[in-house]
A = this chain, B = another copy of it.
Amino acid sequence: MNLTERLLAQSRQCNSLLCVGLDPVKERLPQAMRQQADPILAFNQHIVEATATWACAFKPNIAFYEALGPAGLETLRRTISFIHEQTNALVIIDAKRGDIGNTSAAYAQALFDVLQADAVTLNPYLGRDALAPFLNRPDRGALILCRTSNPGAGEFQDLSVAGRPLYQIVAERVRTWNELGNCGLVVGATFPEELATVRDQCPEMPLLVPGVGAQQGDLAAAVRAGVDRQGERILVNVARSILYASEGPDFAAAAAQAAEHYCWAINDARATV
């Protein structure tokens, strides 16, 4: 199955479009986890177990693991291995990589083969040929940045190219890169109008939608703007609002409750499309 097929199958199976972001920072870990040999691994395992019922995918952002040095990358490797053993959820490494030739091939090896991601996020600025080692993998997914969720996203992404903003040109080009059905786009929840435009441009492509929760994107507006006509093909990422729903000993139960809340809030919104 290619990325699109896997995402559709998994989201139907668990009746959820929720992606749980695994972006832990040591300072916010519950006290009980801090005694563990690998506090972040232990925390991630509890979060994965608690939220798996409601999660179509998990998305660790590799930056938080690299900030911990070489041991952090091992924590990420073990976290992903745990997810694959315990769940059917997709694992997306948010890496926003983009490099050229043999360097790009080294990244694909690092993310797909060493760390065993099902999909990764990529940056389009270097063009299609730079991303070929990712796009040539029929069994893995490439989610390409289109319109990001940060306040200054428009600095380049909204520049007008032949009368249209750059992010729309990116969406259009990525559509032509999607020969294997293994491409998707990243569009922030913080910009529902842009999200709706991208969905219109690319009816068949999965969209990864970050920016809900701590970044305060309007969940219902984003879901309505992002889903396809069958109310599918998006993944709504929520990280901090689930991970830190409680910082007490009940953190896992609170994370489960938050994940359930988001799963249903997304389903309620897509029911009204």
Contacts and interface: CB of A to CB of B under 8 A. Distances in A.
B98 A123 contact: yes
Nearest to A211: B100
B103 A61 contact: yes
Most buried by B among A96, A128, A166: A96
Interface string A83-109: 000000000001011111111101101
A156 B159 CA distance: 12
A99 B166 CA distance: 18
A44 interface: no
A63 B107 contact: yes
A56 interface: no
B162 A160 contact: yes
Given A96-B123, A157-B127, A70 B67 contact: no
Given A64-B103, A66-B114, 10 more contacts: A61-B106, A63-B106, A96-B97, A96-B123, A100-B149, A100-B150, A123-B125, A125-B156, A127-B150, A161-B161
Contacts of A157: 125-127
Interface string A215-251: 1000000000000000000000000000000000000
Interface stretch (A71-79, A192-200, A201-209): A71-79
21 contacts: A23-B102, A25-B106, A61-B106, A63-B104, A67-B107, A67-B109, A67-B114, A69-B73, A69-B110, A94-B103, A96-B97, A100-B150, A123-B125, A124-B156, A125-B125, A126-B157, A127-B150, A129-B151, A156-B170, A161-B161, A166-B166
Contacts of A63: 97, 99, 103-104, 106-107, 110
A111 B170 CA distance: 29
Interface in A1-55: 23, 25
A21 to B, nearest CB: 10
